Structure 1
Amino acid sequence: MCGIVGAIRAQNNVVEFLTSGLERLEYRGYDSSGIAVWTPNSIERVRRVGRVKLMEEAAQAAGLKGCLGIGHTRWATHGGVTEPNAHPHISNDQIAIVHNGIIENFEAERSRLQALGYEFTSQTDTEVIAHSIHYEYTHTSSGNLFQAVQTACQRFQGAYAIGVIAKDNPDQLIAARMGCPLLVALGENESFIASDVSAVIAYTRRVVFLEDGDIVQLSTQGIDTLLDKHNQPAQREIKMSELSLASLELGLYSHFMQKEIHEQPKAITDTAEVFLVGGFEPENFGANAASIFEHIRSIKILACGTSYYAALTARYWLEAIAQIPTDVEIASEYRYRKVIADPEQLIITISQSGETLDTMEALKYAQSLGIQHSLSICNVMESALPRESELVLYTRAGAEIGVASTKAFTTQLVALFGFAVTLGKMRGLVTPTEEEQYTSELRLLPGSIQHVLNLEPQIASWANQFAAKNNALFLGRGIHYPIALEGALKLKEITYIHAEAYPAGELKHGPLALVDQNMPVVVIAPNDSLLEKVKANMQEVAARGGELFVFTDLDSEFTAGAGVHIIRTPRHMGVLSPIVHTIPVQLLAYHTALARGTDVDKPRNLAKSVTVE
C-alpha cells in the first residue's frame, strides 16, 4: 500500500532509478505517482494521476535530471485521487517529502501550522509533515535537516515512513520509520531508500532494514547518522538480499498472478523442505521453541484477509492433530476489544509481507496484556512481525507481485500444517507411523498440485459462464469451508463479481433464498467423510434451478449432467486436501477476470501490503 523510493548518487541521474523503482512497486496498489528532484536552483516535481508510466513520460518531457530525489506511488486515504493530493509534497519550495502511513493527529497539526501562517494545497495528512519539518528547519534547527526531521517526528501520532530532501542540502537524504516498512540500500557512491527491496534489487543487494523509531541520514557514501527511537546512535546489520530479478519478471506468463499460481509446486517444495529434511521438530521454529511449546495450553491466531483463511484451515489441523484448543481472530477486531489474556497461550501471527499494520498492532496488544509467547508465519525476511515475535517460520514463496495472494497462501498452509504435526508429535499424539505418513503426503503434494495446474484449460472453459454473472456462491464443509471462503475472496478481488462463501450445511438457513439460474454455485467436494453430506446440499441447489460447478477428486463418484459441471482433481490427498483444492479456485478467478477484462495484477481499490488501518 503506497510505495516510497529515494536516492542520492554521486554521478548518475536519479530519475531513471526513481521511475523504475516505482514501477517495481506498482504491485503494492496505488492511484497516483510523483517524483521530486533536487536541481541547483529548485526542487522540481512531476505528479500524475494514474499509472507510473504517465508520470515517467511527463518527467522525460520536462527533461528532469538530478543526483538527489524522492518518489512515491499513492493509494488514496485522506483526500481524493487528484494531482494536488499526489506525493511528493513540498513546503515553501524548500522541503519535499514522501510519506506512507497515516498521521492520526493531522487535524490538530494542520490547525497549528495554519496558525503559524502555512497554507495547505491538498487534503492529505502528509502535507502537515512537510510544513512541520519546514518550520523546524527554518526556526529551531539552524538549517540542520536531520534535526528538523527528528524534532518534527516527535509531534506525529500514527504510522509513517518518510523520505525528505531540502533545497539547501544537496548532499543529504533523510528517512524515518514508525510502523510502516522502509529500508536503506547501499551501492557504490550511491544510497537508496525504498519501502520494498524489489525497488532497489537491480542496483544493489546490500540492504539495511530500519526499525520503528529509526531516523537515518544518507549521503553518497552510505549511512552518515542513524538514531533509534531513544535518539541514541544505532547500528543496523547490512543484509545481502536473496531476491532475484527473475522473480520480478513475467517471463512466459501473461500476468504475475498466473505466474505465481504456476510457481506453487516449487514454492511448496521449498517451504516443506524444512520438515522433509529436518523432520517435524520444534527447532524449525526457533532455538527455544521446544521449551515454549511444552508449556502452552492454547493457541490464538491473528491475521487479516487471505492469511485469516489460512488460519481458519490451520485450526482444524491443530485441534485434530495436536488436540490443542485454537481460536482464530481477525487482527483488526482483536486489537479493539477487551481480551481475557492467558499467559500460557501462544499467539501466532500470519502475514505475507510481515508488515500488515493491524496484525502488527494486534500482536503488540496481546503482548501488552502479558502474553509472552508468539510465533510469526511470514514470507519476508527481517520484516516487522518476525522481529517482534519470539519465534518465526519463514515461508519460501519468493516474491509475490500480484495483489491477490496465491502462492503465499498455500505456503502458509504448508507451514501451519508442519507446525500442527510438530506440536502433535511433542504432545505424544503423532505416532512414528503417522509422522511417516504425513511426511509422505507432504512429499507428494507438489506433484498433486502440478496435476491440478494441468487442468487449467478445463477450468478456463468455465470462465465465460462466470464472467456474465454478477454474483456467485461458494460452498464447502469442514476443513474445506475456508477454501470456499478463499475462492470467493479471489473471485471478488480480481473480477469484481460479488461472491460469498458458506458452510454447505448452512444453505437452508438463509443462502438458499439467493439460488436461481443466475447464481452459479461452486462446490468444494473432496472424497472425504463429508462427501455424502455435500451431495445432499447440492441436491438442494439443483432443486431450485441452481447451476453447480463442482471441484471433486479423481476417486469420488459424481456424474455430470444438466446444470452440474464437474472437474476432477487428483485422488483425495487426505489431510492436505485443502491445499490441493485451493489451486482450482485460484485458476477459476484468474480466467474469469481475463474474460471480464479486469486488471488482474492490480485490482481496483486494493493494495498488496496493507500498512494503514
Structure 2
Amino acid sequence: MTQTHMAREVAEIPAAARRLLGEGRGAIEAAAADLRDVNPAFVSTVARGSSDHAATYLKYACELSLGLPVASIGPSVASIFGARLKLGGAACFSISQSGQSPDIVAMAQAASDAQACTLAITNQPDSPLARASRNTVPIMAGPELSVAATKTFVTSALAGLAVLAHWGRDDALIAAIDALPDQLEAAARLDWSPLRDALLARDSMYVLGRGPSYAMACEAALKFKETCGIHAEAYSSAEVLHGPVEIVGGDYPVLVLAARDAAEPAAMGVAEQLATRGAQVFATSDLAKAATRLPFVATSHPLTEPLALITGFYAFIEQLARARGRNPDTPANLRKVTETT
C-alpha cells in the first residue's frame, strides 16, 4: 500500500501546530482578550465526535488552569428541542473541523443570541459556525483527506488551550505551548510496535486515562473503532474497577494513556492492578512494572503532554490498521463530514 492520507496527515501535525501558533496567534490573542473583558462565570462547549473529545480535554484544561467550571451542551438542545438556555455572562466554545454541522451551528447561534461570549474553533473560518460566533480561531490545519481526524483534532485542542493560556496570561503554559511543535514531531516517530503486535488479532479492549488524558483515551477508543474495527471502550482509570473490570480476563488488552501529571500515580496504580490480574496492559509511564512501558515524549507542562500522547498514538494506529489489512482512509461506513440536525 502506498502512503495513506492518514499517515501523511499525522506527519503534518507539527507543521500545522507551528502554523497555528504563528499565523494564528493574532486570532488566539484577540479571542483571549475578549474573554478577559467579558470575565464569564462559566464556560460551555458544543461539539460532536473527535471535536467533543477535544472539548473534554479543554474542560479539564480550563478548570485546572483558570478555575472556571465547564459544561458540555448537547447540540440537540437547540436544533431538535428548541430550548433557550440562560447563557448570558457565560462563554461558549463550539468546535467543528468543517463548521457545517447544522446542530452545532444552531447551538452556537442560540448561545450568541443569548449574549454568551461565543468562540468558534474550526478549520473553515468562512463557515456557518464562524458566522454564528462572536470570535473565531481558525485551526489552520490545511486540507485533511483521511476520514479519521488527526491533525484537526490536535490543532483544535491546541487552539483552545492557547486561548486559555493567553486568557489567563499563564506564561509557563504559553512557553510550553510554543515548544510543543518540536515535541509533536518527536512523538510522531515513537515505536509502539509491542502494542501493535499484541492487537493484530484482537477485537475488544479498553483504553484508560485520567484527567486531561481521559479525553485522549476517548479519542483513541474512537480511532480503534474507525480505523481498525476494534471495539475499544474508554474509561477513566477511576471508573474501570467499578464494573467494567468484570470482563477483563486473562490477556485482555488495556492501553493506559498516562501523562506526567498529578493523576499519573493513581492511573498507574490501576494499570498495575489489572496487569497483576492477568490483563495485557501497556502504559505510557516510567511507573510501569507489571505493565509494559510504551515510549512517550515528556513535555514541559502537564497540560501539553496529552497532545504529545495522542500524536504518538495516531502514528501507531495508522500502522496497526495497515497491519490488520485495512486502509484507514476508506472505512466502510463513514464519510469525512457528518452533518447532524
Separation (CA, whole Å) in 2 of partners of 1:374 and 1:340: 14
Matched residue type, 1:319:
E
Superposition deviation, residue 353 in structure 1: 0.8
Separation (CA, whole Å) in 2 of partners of 1:529 and 1:292: 28
- Are the structure 2 counterparts of residues 542 and 393 from structure 1 closer, same or farther at C-alpha, using a change threshold of 3 Å? same
Superposition deviation, residue 343 in structure 1: 1.3
The alignment status of 1:260 with 2:9, answered yes or no, reads: yes
The alignment status of 1:397 with 2:130, answered yes or no, reads: no
The alignment status of 1:441 with 2:176, answered yes or no, reads: yes
Q: Which runs of 5+ in 1 are unaligned?
A: 1-251
| Percentage of matched positions with identical amino acids | 26
The superposition leaves residues 502-536 of structure 1 with CA deviations (integer Å, 9 ceiling, x where unpaired) of 00011221110111235210001223222221121
Q: Structure 2 matches for 1:286-365, cutoff 5 A?
A: 290=34, 293-332=37-76, 335-336=79-80, 338=83, 340-365=85-110
Matched residue type, 2:333:
N
The structure with the greater share of residues assigned to strand is: 1
Separation (CA, whole Å) in 2 of partners of 1:404 and 1:267: 17
Partner in structure 1 of residue 314 of structure 2: 586
Partner in structure 1 of residue 296 of structure 2: 569
RMSD: 2.3
Separation (CA, whole Å) in 1 of partners of 2:10 and 2:320: 15
- Are the structure 2 counterparts of residues 410 and 356 from structure 1 closer, same or farther at C-alpha, using a change threshold of 3 Å? same
Taking structure 2 as the reference length, what is the TM-score of the superposition?
0.91
- Are the structure 2 counterparts of residues 280 and 381 from structure 1 closer, same or farther at C-alpha, using a change threshold of 3 Å? closer
Partner in structure 1 of residue 21 of structure 2: 272
Alignment check: 8 A CA contact 1:346 1:371 kept: no
Separation (CA, whole Å) in 1 of partners of 2:185 and 2:251: 32
Q: Structure 2 matches for 1:189-588, cutoff 5 A?
A: 254-274=3-23, 281=29, 283=30, 285=31, 290=34, 293-332=37-76, 335-336=79-80, 338=83, 340-367=85-112, 370-425=114-169, 430=170, 435=171, 437-455=172-190, 458-552=191-285, 556-559=286-289, 564-574=291-301, 575-588=303-316
The structure with the greater share of residues assigned to helix is: 2
The superposition leaves residues 530-579 of structure 1 with CA deviations (integer Å, 9 ceiling, x where unpaired) of 22211210122123211011123xxx3434x6xx3222212344220110
Q: Structure 2 matches for 1:13-32, cutoff 5 A?
A: none
Q: Report the structure number with the largest CA radius of gyration.
A: 1
The superposition leaves residues 405-441 of structure 1 with CA deviations (integer Å, 9 ceiling, x where unpaired) of 000011011111111112223xxxx4xxxx1x22321
Taking structure 1 as the reference length, what is the TM-score of the superposition?
0.52
- Are the structure 2 counterparts of residues 444 and 550 from structure 1 closer, same or farther at C-alpha, using a change threshold of 3 Å? same
- Are the structure 2 counterparts of residues 500 and 339 from structure 1 closer, same or farther at C-alpha, using a change threshold of 3 Å? farther
- Are the structure 2 counterparts of residues 506 and 531 from structure 1 closer, same or farther at C-alpha, using a change threshold of 3 Å? same
Separation (CA, whole Å) in 2 of partners of 1:588 and 1:333: 37
- Are the structure 2 counterparts of residues 524 and 291 from structure 1 closer, same or farther at C-alpha, using a change threshold of 3 Å? closer
Matched residue type, 1:417:
L
- Are the structure 2 counterparts of residues 354 and 557 from structure 1 closer, same or farther at C-alpha, using a change threshold of 3 Å? same
Q: Which runs of 5+ in 2 are unaligned?
A: none
Moved more, 300-309 or 568-577: 568-577
Alignment check: 8 A CA contact 1:551 1:568 kept: yes
Separation (CA, whole Å) in 1 of partners of 2:338 and 2:255: 29
Matched residue type, 2:6:
M
Alignment check: 8 A CA contact 2:203 2:231 kept: yes
Misfit runs of 4+, over 6 Å: none
Partner in structure 2 of residue 220 of structure 1: none
Q: Structure 2 matches for 1:74-113, cutoff 5 A?
A: none
Partner in structure 2 of residue 35 of structure 1: none
Q: Which has the higher contact order (CA 8 A, sep 6+)?
A: 2
Q: Alignment length, in residue pairs?
A: 339
